Amino acid sequence: MIVTDAATQMKSARLVERFPLGAGVTLSELERYDNAPLLHQLREREPVTWFAEQGVWLVTSKTLFDELQMDPERFVVDVPDNPQRVILGSQMLVVDGDEHTRHRGPFAGPFKYSAVRRQFTDLVDVTVDRLLDAISGRGGCELGAEFANPFAVSVASDVLGLRLDQVEEVHDIYTGFAEGMVGYRDPDAVARAMRGRARLAELLAPRLDRLGTDFGNSVTREELEANLRLILFGAIETVESMILNTTWALLSYPDQARLLAADPELWPSAVQEGLRWIPPVGYTDRWASADTELGGVPIARGDYLLGVIHGANRDPAAFPDPDRFDITRDARRQNFSFGKGIHMCLGVNLARLQGATALRSLFERLPGLRLDPAHPTEPVGFNFRRPPHLHVLWDR
């Protein structure tokens, strides 16, 4: 939850009359899985609106989302109270311009498409097989704890050469990071995240000297550690959510799963559609660097804007019939779930490889895969979005 200060609350009172729809929006509505009708209303009537409850601007149309992401001079990330800076430290996602290039550059090479396919395909295959070997004979499990999370942690740590064996502990640390970013002005949430940072530093310490040698003098040790925290966060949180969200969607719409059984070449498209339909991250953060305007709405210097990914992904200007879950959409049409512009997710190519491999193996190796009716669930959350649990059954 985004907590507002007194000045923002005073400003909000002045804007309520101009933006009546935004004034009536609640965080609980935005956290709901089935909030597409609300997003359509916002996009049609107030595509840039004042979200009075939280004291921030919401941007819900594809065109304005593009403008927000693609103009790093007007809309910046390098501000002291960026939640990702507060929790993860100074790293590539919270700096602009040349500083962003300096932070991101040393990490970019291994995540290019050809490098990912060449270096990590076997690693992903082996990890998926190991985890499915452990559960396939049981006939049921909670998919997050027993497959999606250990898969995400194992691949992320192996890709970075960190060999993190404490899967459950790392999961708990990153859960604390996510909670800290959502409640970054809550001292208790921040304190829990900082304890997690200290413990993660202990786990990373044996490998940091070697990685520092690999990167030379391009980043300091503190910056290296902060960027590793960020990369691990994206690789764990996003990949786990992508697998759970797409599995839930396919099991909720079995006609789409049958298409995949008939034509496995559709799996990359299914991953893209799962990401579009239920994005693991709900919004991107930007701050106005000067007084400006967006979509005809005056924006003051320092204003906080949220580009709502779910809104852009459901914009009919970008995707025809956007509320339909359709894995036959053209996979080359990019959705916005990994962001856009210079701060687009570094690990997008690896995540897509992981998604297609893990989900295809999951459905092919666990026959009759289905949701467990004893544990109903659905994706929830505005900042981070996935089912809180995903119990599944299959035929042994």
Q: How confident is the model at residue 5 (pLDDT cuts 50, 70, 90)?
A: low
Three-state secondary structure call for residue 283: strand
Structure confidence at residue 165 (pLDDT):
73
- Dihedral, CA atoms, 244, 250, 253, 259, nearest 10 degrees? 170
Q: Which domains are assigned to the chain?
A: 6-393 (1.10.630.10)
Arithmetic mean of pLDDT, 182-210: 88
Give the count of beta carbons closer than 10 Å to the beta carbon of residue 23: 18
Q: How confident is the model at residue 171 (pLDDT cuts 50, 70, 90)?
A: confident
Q: What angle do CA 142, 146, 148 make, to 5 degrees?
A: 95
Dmax (CA) for the chain in angstroms is: 62
pLDDT in tens, 238-291: 999 999 999 999 999 999 999 999 999 999 999 999 999 999 999 999 999 999
State the DSSP string of 84-149.
Answer: HHHHH-S-GGG--HHHHHHHHHHHHGGGSHHHHHHHHHHHHHHHHHHHHHHHTTTSEEEHIIIIIH
pLDDT band at 3 (very low <50, low <70, confident <90, very high): very low
Instruction: Please state, for a pLDDT cut of 90, what percent of the chain lies above it.
Output: 76
Average pLDDT over the chain reads 92
Q: pTM for the full model?
A: 0.93
Q: Which pLDDT score, from 0 to 100, does residue 214 have?
A: 62
pLDDT (0 to 100) of residue 20: 95
Which tokens belong to 36? Answer: 């597409």
Tokens 């960020």, residue? 230
The residue among 203 and 138 whose pLDDT is bigger is 138
Gap between the Cα atoms of 338 and 190, Å rounded: 25
Instruction: Give the integer Cα–Cα distance in Å for 48 and 298.
Output: 10
**pLDDT computed for residue 2 by the predictor:** 46
pLDDT at 109: 84
Torsion sign, CA atoms 364, 338, 239, 346: positive
State residue 240's pLDDT score: 96
Q: Is the pLDDT of residue 11 over 90?
A: no
